[in-house]
Chains A and B, each alone.
Chain A
């Protein structure tokens, strides 16, 4: 069973009011569900479909198009490490390797304590401050090994 929290229930009419048709609220509601649970469960897609009068299959087909929706539970902190060109030119590959080693996981994996998930990411529009990573909603820029260690150690 999936239900939006009461705080999120209140947000739904606000979101719907932005648009002349209900389907436009699909991405915002998927995002809301993911923020609540950490991922988009099949039950959440059923519930969103019910609210927006869309079939669960349709909701699924849209959700699967977008890379930011996680279909499975992830770590508490999702580290997206940019490896695109400007970051690559500034040593991102080596720093990514360093991060993986420090967390003792491979890229794409989650630490055993479910704290960190590490992914390779494409350009996140911080190229003039490369290399960079995004942890949940926060951008960390101009990275060095020392800086990465400090950031990771500071998260609990």
Chain B
């Protein structure tokens, strides 16, 4: 079982982050083809490729590009490089190792969508990646891949870097826009969607790093080639950050539809100390965890949804049988309590309450009723919160009770025995 390296083919090449090296791998080769096409043809190509957003929601990229409000200018492109979903570290790899691939992808998107200005929103901790990107942007400007009249095409486009300052919620696209405008990073009411009223109230495309990095391949090789990989509705390749209890954690680029078993046992070397698999979280901390008997689930949007979880950002967190699930769940509940922006009540109060109950149970002070109470709180946050963070906070808690109630009971029992 091998990887399918469409984006990361040359990622281990020394100094790939430099333009001269990137060009030796065929880098920026797509631009010549690009400028021979009409912008709307490029949108059609990306639609035909089946490429879906890699930031979490899996929305078709070409379709998103086609939704921009007609005849309203200027328009903006924002690349989401906030990468803050626990378990996820694949965008950082792309940003640090192959910044020019992202620039190339952004040029294609901007050309297709008639955009002249792009921003890359880095999470505040990505200072190093942002510095590397600034150097890469300078190199690209010097070669006229960016700037005025790019390669004589008549098309103008430039990109700027912008660093956040810590706050998970800024990865949510409308919060990201507020943050980029110099405001508190709280989500906005939708609609209007960013395609209509985004950055500075102008039509805006927001895409994840990996989504944009997949675009040059589609222009170079054609959408049919890209769509020949993967499953019926999940096309192409996906970078998966594998972490937790595996022997060889790392970022693996797989063909969509590869099974979780192949990811864990073939690519990541199996479970540490040859322990047994207990659970896995397929798409980052906010996607529901699944038990070991679902290890043959194909890693694609539809199969993971059918199994009761989500592909999310593509971060496979592997947990072995030495762990009581309540411990991991408590850690995630603490994260969501910390990261709730406080704007709406179900999420602000619900995340705090869930954490309190879990903490009590973990410390051996829980009762059966409190586990039921947790389920009840989950139901009261789901679909009642202002933005998807509320639902995200429910994911780990609800799924841990659904699949591992015995772990809760083990702690409750200990409590009962201790009290006797």
**Which residues of A come within 8 Å of B, CB atoms?**
18-21, 23-28, 30-31, 52, 61-62, 65-69, 80, 83-86, 88-90, 122-130, 134, 137-139
**Given A27-B182, A62-B182, 6 new contacts (CB under 8 A):** A30-B165, A65-B167, A85-B281, A85-B332, A89-B317, A123-B335
Chain A, residue nearest B249 (CB):
A128
Residues of A within 8 A of B168 (CB): 122
Residues of A within 8 A of B323 (CB): 89
Contact A85 B285 (CB under 8 A): yes
Contact A18 B162 (CB under 8 A): yes
Interface extent on B, as a size class? 35 or more
Residues of A within 8 A of B85 (CB): 123
Give the distance in Å from the alpha carbon of A115 to the alpha carbon of B375 in the complex: 46
Q: Which of B185, B281, B327 contacts A66 (CB 8 A)?
A: B185
Contact B181 A24 (CB under 8 A): yes
19 A/B residue pairs, CB under 8 Å, sorted by A: A25-B182, A61-B184, A66-B164, A66-B167, A80-B125, A84-B331, A85-B244, A85-B281, A85-B317, A89-B317, A89-B319, A122-B86, A122-B339, A123-B87, A125-B89, A127-B87, A128-B243, A128-B250, A130-B249
Give the distance in Å from the alpha carbon of A69 to the alpha carbon of B184 in the complex: 13
Residues of A within 8 A of B153 (CB): none
Q: Which of B84, B167, B179, B244 contacts A86 (CB 8 A)?
A: B244
Contact B163 A66 (CB under 8 A): no
Does B160 belong to the interface (CB within 8 Å)? yes
Contact B87 A137 (CB under 8 A): no
Q: Which of B89, B163, B164, B167 contacts A128 (CB 8 A)?
A: B89
Q: How many A-B contacts at CB < 8 Å in the complex? A: 138
Chain A, residue nearest B246 (CB):
A128
Least Cβ distance of B195 to chain A in Å?
19
Least Cβ distance of B267 to chain A in Å?
12
Give the distance in Å from the alpha carbon of A89 to the alpha carbon of B338 in the complex: 20
Contact A85 B86 (CB under 8 A): yes
Least Cβ distance of A134 to chain B in Å?
6
Q: Which of B87, B165, B250, B328 contacts A31 (CB 8 A)?
A: B165
Does B245 belong to the interface (CB within 8 Å)? yes
Q: Kindly supply a per-residue 1/0 record for chain B positions 111-123, scoring 1 wherever the CB is within 8 Å of any chain A CB and 0 otherwise.
A: 0000000010001
Does B190 belong to the interface (CB within 8 Å)? no
Give the distance in Å from the alpha carbon of A35 to the alpha carbon of B81 in the complex: 22
Chain B, residue nearest A127 (CB):
B243
Does B92 belong to the interface (CB within 8 Å)? yes
Residues of A within 8 A of B42 (CB): none
Least Cβ distance of B130 to chain A in Å?
10
Does B38 belong to the interface (CB within 8 Å)? no
Q: Which of B91, B127, B184 contacts A137 (CB 8 A)?
A: B127
A21, A25, A66, A137 interface centre (most CB from chain B within 10 Å) = A66
Q: Which of B163, B242, B317 contacts A27 (CB 8 A)?
A: B163
Q: Kindly supply a per-residue 1/0 record for chain B positions 183-215, scoring 1 wherever the CB is within 8 Å of any chain A CB and 0 otherwise.
A: 111100000000000001000000000000000
Chain B, residue nearest A122 (CB):
B335
Contact B123 A125 (CB under 8 A): yes
Does B287 belong to the interface (CB within 8 Å)? no
Least Cβ distance of A110 to chain B in Å?
19
Give the distance in Å from the alpha carbon of A23 to the alpha carbon of B182 in the complex: 5
Residues of B within 8 A of A139 (CB): 128
